[in-house]
Amino acid sequence: MNHLERLRTLDADARLVQRIGAVLAWDQETYMPPAAIEERGDQIAFIEALAHDRQTSPEIGEHLAVLGSTVERPEGDPTLPPLDRAYLRVMRRAYDQATRIPTELVAEMAKATSLSQAAWAKARETNDFGAFAPHLSKMVEFNKRIAACLDPSKPPYDVLLDRFEEGATEAGVKAVFTPLRDDLVQLMDKIRARPQVDDAFLHAACPADKQAKASEYLLAALSFDRDRGRMDTTAHPFTTTLGRDDVRITTRYVEDYFPSSAFSTIHECGHALYELGIDPAPEYRRTGLADASSMAVHESQSRMWENMVGRSRGFWAKHLPEFQRMLAPVLDGVDLNAFYKAVNRVEPSLIRTEADEVTYGLHIILRFELESDLVAGRLAVADVPAAWNERMQRLLGVTPPNDAKGCLQDIHWSMGAIGYFPSYALGNLYAAQLWDAMKAQGLDPVAAVDKGDLASILAWLRDKVHKPGASMKPEDLLRSATGSGLDPSHFVRYLNHKYGEVYGF
């Protein structure tokens, strides 16, 4: 066995342990009885520590060194094939990060995270931020400790952002978000000057069992492979990969707003389609090269399927009749134009996951600002609810009536995923740029949706985005697929064109 083969074997073994941990975490969020939380925390902590020990094996470092991979030259020997060099880059980054974090810290945070998620779910249900606050404080401190381990020379939030989007910095994200915020506000002003869309029929009572059937229908329409995945229900929808042929998604059912489940299902299906399509090469299927390029690239897939496909007129021209049948009598008498406008209604709202495309970015900017302040110590955990409400009013013009609909609505901080939120807004920008690239390369995605030909869109994404996995950094992947680096103007043009049609300006 040569050095590359041995490296792939060690990597696959570590990932095998991680996937076992993912099964435990998925079960905790879906079917585990509440009283099991303490022991489950110990189980997850044990598995996380075991995975970390495997990731930090000195043998990995030895093989990387022999293959010429160093911090300064992570891709190793320049005579190696490009895919092998890409793998060495990914492994060098993962190994360096893992070896800088003590196993004890990994285990400690894993157990705390398990307890934190359970505390968040209960606090959200009972509208009790005070009960969750100690756990949030721990998550912030754990992240600061990890940032200090990874690179004490950099601002902690820069280090945390880089974990989800390689190369990202707070200054770089601000440089994108500041003009984007201005563009969104200008578009909002145009929309406010027009008569508001009527979406009252979307809030009619709709039983969860009917919504469940509709969600299953949507998964089939989007070619979700039920032999390689399943769907369940949770407090907060998510996607998790338990194996190459085992990708789980979840949704939730809000009985007085069925679009919540419909579009959450499409969104999570977009994530799953990406995971199921990653295939850089057979020999790398169980290695780090079979991960996503970045979380923003991941979000580009979920946001594209949810909004650019799932909220399009062409999609509902084909699927609205069946939806009306399954949800009857909720949509009786509703025509295509009314439904299309209703699911694209723009109105500042409280819940990020149910926000329209125009105001969604403002939700992300709010969270980005709060995260930055928390990590920098400019904001105390106890002051999060007040800061959240003040910024919601300033950015969106609405104030949450309680913390359950405010600072407790997202699961991410309870998971310790600080630095993740910017990926959502960056994903929107990536999605629009990829959408335009399809058309420039001879595949008109709007026409494809109109014809019901979602397979051609999926095939293009499989080739340009999914299959490469982590073999390319996000910016390199975007350049390869579209011919240029990140260009937010694609997203701004898309929004102005679409909502000009919806609102008539």
Pairing of strands 229-233, 239-243: unpaired
289 within 8 A of 87, measured Cβ to Cβ: yes
Closest CA to 480 of 466, 494, 459: 466
Q: Is 400 in contact with 406 (CB distance < 8 Å)?
A: yes
Q: Do 237 and 251 form a contact (C-beta atoms < 8 A)?
A: yes
Place of tokens 């014809």: 451
Q: Which residues, in sequence order, are bridge partners of residue 246? A: 243
Angle at 458 (CA atoms; ends 454, 464), nearest 5 degrees = 145
Give CA–CA dist 298/434, Å, rounded.
13
48, 268, 275, 371: which one is catalytic?
Answer: 268
Q: Are the C-beta atoms of residues 169 and 157 closer than 8 Å to each other?
A: no
Residues facing 232 on adjacent strands: 250
Residue pair 482/436 in contact by the 8 Å Cβ criterion: yes
Residue pointed to by tokens 């329409």: 221
Rounded CA separation 322/334 (Å)? 13
Based on the residue annotation, tell me whether 306 is a catalytic residue of this protein: no
Side-chain-facing half-sphere of 94: CA atoms under 13 Å: 25
Beta bridge partners of 251: 233
Cβ burial of 52 (10 Å; 0-12, 13-18, 19+) is buried
Residue recorded with tokens 């989800």? 164
Phi-psi region of 167 (alpha: psi -120 to 50; beta: other; left: phi over 0): left
And the tokens for 40? 């489950």
- Quote the CA–CA distance of 170 and 93 in Å, as a whole number: 20
Per-residue 3-state assignment (H helix, E strand, C coil) for 219-274: HHHCCCCCCCEEEEECCCCCEEEEECCEEEEEECCCCCCCHHHHHHHHHHHHHHHH
Enzyme catalytic residues: 268
